[in-house]
Amino acid sequence: MNLRLLLSSALFLLTLSTYSISSVMRLNCDTLYYDEYINKVYAKGNVNLELNEATISASQLTFYVDDNIVISTGNVTIKRGKEYFNSSSLLLDLTDNALSLTDIHISVTPPKTNGKVYINIKELIDKPHVKIGKHSVITTCDHPNPHHSLHSWRLHYYPDTSLHLFLSYFKNDLSFFPFTIIPFSIPLLEVLPVPYYYYKLGKQKMVLNFPTIGKKSNNPDWGWFVQNSFDYRYKNNKTSTLYVDWYEANQNRRGEWGYGAHHFYGNDNIYGDIYAYNYDFILNDVKQNNTVYSINQTVTIKDYEFFGSYKRKDVDERINSSGSDERIDKSFRLSHLIPDTPLTFEVKENQQLKYQNKTLSSSLNKSFLHQNFIFDIKRKEFFSTHRDNVESSLVHNKEFKHGFHLKQTVNFNQYDTINDQTPLEQTLKYASSITKLLPYDINMNINISYLHDLDNERVTADSLSAINNYLYKLPEIEFKKTNATFLTLNSSSVVRVGSYREVRYNATNKTHSYPIQEHKFEPNIYYLSQHFSKTVKELPFLSTYTFSTRYEQYLFKNKNLSPFEGDAQYSFGLNSSLESTYFKFIKLKSSYTSNYAPKENNSPFYAYKKSFRESNALSETLTFFYKKNKSPTFNHSIDFSWSHSTGYNWLRDSQPYNDYKSNLVLKVDQHKLSVAMGQKLNFSRASRKSKYDPLNVSLSLNTRKKVMLNYAISYNLNDIVYEDKWNVLSSSATFKIPIGKDPLFAWHINAYYRYKPTLIGEEFQWDSYELSSISITKKEHKREFELGYKKLNNEFFFKYIFTLFPDDPIVLRRKNDIVSFEGRLSKQSEERFK
């Protein structure tokens, strides 16, 4: 049970009752009586008493003027804003500024939970400086008599300061034998005493968080760890934290304590945080440095924001993983915070000391009303290999009238090896595109791309790096139409023409260029792509027919030849299927696929040499089926299907047939039987005794009483057919048996059996099943116990879960001779060197 979350929910009620009594009150009611003899005021009917932010609603109130006391003996509602709760009576002492409420009942839904917390307080006394709760009960159980709850004799709440519990205990009633025959609750098991609990609140609070406890198993030199965090400051929605961690030293390790802090500071205009953590240890008499510290600072001056950060990391062994890291990270960012025309300038430097490289990058992003500029430059130095790489880009986007959009990109790359033998490699690339949506939803795209070799095409370097391999678009024009309709067919079309030039460098042809020289604007590639598709329903025999076609065509302009005389590439694809139903119990689905491309296809451009795989295949699936739903005269549902499938491929001369597959499925109510098998239709005489796939049988039974059986077995069908031997390849059985009529308090027995024959290949034997795992689960209304055993790992485990806190189970495992905790007590360690 998450005690802190329960108490935080209780604070909701205590805070709700808080108000500041002033000398001014406002009283509204239907009828008002005044008894002059005893100086008493009666208010009846829709009574509302307003005290600053609090409103007290009741059917009647009595105001004793001489005693300065307000009393109500009927049901009262106290409301502040959107929050409210009910009380059976009220006593308001205006002299002592004290409010007394009795029999308070409220429910709260805490964040990150899937249920409610219920709070009952017998009497609540609300004074200016302290709220006193008498005989309070906090629970997550919605039963009239909660099965688990936190009881407290006295509860003192000092707003923004502290919360105190006096003479408290946690009650957890168990409803199964032998606890049901014991007339009292068993201490420490069903009753856990909490004589005194103190919880500090307020802005300067010190909170000890629940520790993270576990064991690092991927390194034998590490053992158990306990990571503790102390929250000592909360300001501007930021929590400052101290870290004190203990790591068990095993074998050749020495050093067990790690320390750190994460501190947030500042206000709305100047703020930041500082993080530092150190855990040095000695491994094999060698000191290991594990240190990280960082600082982040933000300063806002009018419309400008300045941000800077620095991080130094020297880690020989991470905590929740393996590996080391040593680096220095620096960054600076300037932002001009104007909504329509912002500007951002940023510089980052990363030094990888372990891998001996350094990266320095800067970027400038400036937006205007209808355009945007982004400039980036990055330099990366590799000290071990003496390499220096520089990459830079400029991107410009602009919106014009009538829906035209322009995008321009300039990229600069420089690769330099710091010696006199290898020349400098420099390239400059330019790309531009204009897009426009034309009438009839046609998308137009005009592309231009160009590369300039700044190192004057040094052939040796270019052929080795291939960095100057490039397809020039001078320009390319594309028209695309999608989701169109042509003669009731769904269609999409792409038409593309362009003037292209391709340059490639390689060992065999170091100066390949096509065309050899740049030429005037004249298209040398014509591309057409056309797709059609159609689905036709409501045909005879309840048939559905679907087909789609795809046609692609590349025409290339060769020298001294027309486009239809030179190189070209064509491809055609067809997919169709017909699914029909006969006699109300037979389904037949036929699918045909064909893809064709002429062998004469050729392209003078490497970028457009398309690899193509032809196909010409037919597949058939025949299914026998029967389905019947429940009815007043038939109290069962039946769903039966038996499918058979194979196929034929005309392009395979030696093995044209697809494997034959058969699958039978029978469902009766919640029960299911499945049988699957297969057979190779292409086999030689020598391999005929291995032509069958395994025979797989599975059975699932579910009774109305929620008893469940899942059984699966796989046979070697070749042995059954040719040798009459029922050899089992694998088999398993799972049982789930509930015991008890009330599902909120039922027992569940889960068992898993695995087939393990004495000899491999022996025939089926019932006694070859062995118990692999078993567990017993007890539902206890909003909570659950589980006790189990796994034979494979020789493991016993116990699990206890509250429904409201599913992520925080209590788990105890014993594997061989090792006992471990899980859930809240065994989470992955937090990486301090982040």
Q: Is 0.75 topped by the overall pTM?
A: no
For the chain, the first-to-last Cα distance in angstroms comes to 31
Measured over the CA atoms of residue 802, residue 803, residue 808 and residue 809, the dihedral's sign is positive
Type of residue found at 247: Y
Instruction: Report residue 791's pLDDT band, with 50, 70 and 90 as the boundaries.
Output: confident
Given a cut of 60, whether residue 10 has pLDDT beyond it is no
**Average pLDDT over every residue of 95-124:** 77
Higher pLDDT, 6 or 613: 613
Q: How do residues 388-443 score in pLDDT, each as one tens digit?
A: 899 999 999 999 988 999 999 999 998 887 665 666 788 899 999 999 999 999 99
Distance CA 400, CA 446 (A): 15
Type of residue found at 487: L
State which H helix or E strand residue 459 sits in: helix 459-465
> Residue 463: its pLDDT value, please?
54
> Residue 378: its pLDDT value, please?
95
**Average pLDDT over every residue of 278-284:** 85
Judge if the upstream peptide bond of residue 195 is cis by omega within 30 degrees of 0: no
Given a cut of 50, whether residue 645 has pLDDT beyond it is yes
**Average pLDDT over every residue of 641-655:** 92
Distance CA 60, CA 28 (A): 11
Report the alpha-carbon angle 707-709-715, nearest 5. 170
CB 247 within 8 A of CB 225: yes
**Average pLDDT over every residue of 331-360:** 92
Q: How do residues 721-749 score in pLDDT, each as one tens digit?
A: 888 888 888 999 999 998 888 888 888 99
Q: How do residues 299-321 score in pLDDT, each as one tens digit?
A: 999 889 999 999 999 988 777 66
Instruction: Provide the token pair at 576.
Output: 């169709």
> Residue 421: its pLDDT value, please?
63
> Residue 694: its pLDDT value, please?
93
Q: Phi and psi at residue 768, in whole multiples of 5°? A: -85, -5
> Residue 119: its pLDDT value, please?
81
Instruction: Report residue 808's pLDDT band, with 50, 70 and 90 as the boundaries.
Output: low
Q: How far from chain centre, in Å, is Cα 240?
A: 28
> Residue 372: its pLDDT value, please?
94
Given a cut of 50, whether residue 11 has pLDDT beyond it is no
Given a cut of 80, whether residue 164 has pLDDT beyond it is yes
Given a cut of 90, whether residue 461 has pLDDT beyond it is no
**Average pLDDT over every residue of 441-461:** 80
Q: How do residues 542-586 score in pLDDT, each as one tens digit?
A: 999 999 999 999 999 888 888 888 899 999 999 999 999 999 999
Nearby residues of 527 by Cβ (< 8 Å), 6 or more positions away: 494, 495, 496, 497, 552, 553, 554, 555
* Cα-only R_g, the chain: 39
3-state secondary structure 83-106: EEEEECEEEEECCCCEEEEEEEEE
Spatial CA neighbour of 113 closest among 810, 781, 805, 809: 805
Helix (H, G, I), strand (E, B) or coil at 612: coil
Average pLDDT across the chain, whole number: 84
State how far the alpha carbon of 555 is from the alpha carbons of 567, 614, 725, in Å: 7, 20, 63
Given a cut of 60, whether residue 13 has pLDDT beyond it is no
Instruction: Report residue 459's pLDDT band, with 50, 70 and 90 as the boundaries.
Output: very low
Range of lowest pLDDT (591-605, 614-628, 683-697): 683-697
**Average pLDDT over every residue of 28-34:** 84
CB atoms near residue 340 (< 10 Å): 7
Q: How do residues 245-267 score in pLDDT, each as one tens digit?
A: 888 877 777 888 999 999 999 98
State how far the alpha carbon of 252 is from the alpha carbons of 240, 247, 256, in Å: 35, 14, 12
Instruction: Report residue 21's pLDDT band, with 50, 70 and 90 as the boundaries.
Output: very low
Distance CA 409, CA 393 (A): 7
Instruction: Report residue 496's pLDDT band, with 50, 70 and 90 as the boundaries.
Output: very high
> Residue 510: its pLDDT value, please?
60
Instruction: Report residue 826's pLDDT band, with 50, 70 and 90 as the boundaries.
Output: low
Q: How do residues 499-516 score in pLDDT, each as one tens digit?
A: 999 888 766 666 678 887
Instruction: Report residue 19's pLDDT band, with 50, 70 and 90 as the boundaries.
Output: very low
Q: How do residues 753-781 score in pLDDT, each as one tens digit?
A: 999 887 766 778 888 899 999 999 988 88
Report the alpha-carbon angle 400-402-408, nearest 5. 35
Spatial CA neighbour of 379 closest among 405, 401, 335, 347: 347
Distance CA 7, CA 802 (A): 16
Q: How do residues 191-235 score in pLDDT, each as one tens digit?
A: 878 888 776 665 545 666 667 777 766 666 677 788 888 888 878
Range of lowest pLDDT (448-452, 697-701, 804-808): 804-808
> Residue 86: its pLDDT value, please?
79
